[in-house]
Amino acid sequence: MSCFVFNHFSTHVGWIKDISIKGLSFEYLHKPGSDCNPEVVDIFSNGNGLERFYIESLPCQRIYDIALPLKSTSWMEMQARRCGIEYVEPTEDLVNKIDTFIISHMRGVNQTDR
């Protein structure tokens, strides 16, 4: 399944690795000189056998942004990284959308944080 996060201010797109009602982490390819400090993100899925899903303009703040062990890649100037964010004062509507997303798209994934 493919679920993604899009950072409005730096145009980073990443693959969601962990998600909860309070925040998420995602992996992305970092190009030197660009910064990943999201203040607003969108969460979406491409469907991939499930219903397509989109949550727009989710306010957040970065908790961490770490380098991942180097994997063999032809994009030598790119670095794999993982960024963790927490949602900042999400509305009740956004919390409900996040919960719906988790329930419908994360079946079979470890749900210990729910």
Tell me the per-residue pLDDT of 29-83, one tens digit each, with 9 for 90 and over.
877 766 676 788 888 887 666 667 788 888 999 999 998 886 655 556 678 889 9
Q: Is residue 80 part of a domain?
A: no
Q: Is residue 89 part of a domain?
A: no
Domain count, the chain: 1
For residue 86, the model assigns a pLDDT of 95
Q: Is residue 91 part of a domain?
A: no
pLDDT over 60 (residue 109): no
Q: Is residue 9 part of a domain?
A: yes
- CA–CA gap between residue 65 and residue 88 (Å, rounded): 17
Q: Is residue 88 part of a domain?
A: no
**Distances, alpha carbon 1 to alpha carbons 4, 43, 72, 107, in Å:** 10, 14, 23, 10
Find the mean pLDDT for residues 94-108: 80
Domain range spanning residue 7? 1-30+41-58+99-107
Q: Is residue 90 part of a domain?
A: no
Q: Is residue 93 part of a domain?
A: no
Q: Is residue 23 part of a domain?
A: yes
75: CB partners within 8 A, 6+ apart: 29
Higher pLDDT, 35 or 22: 22
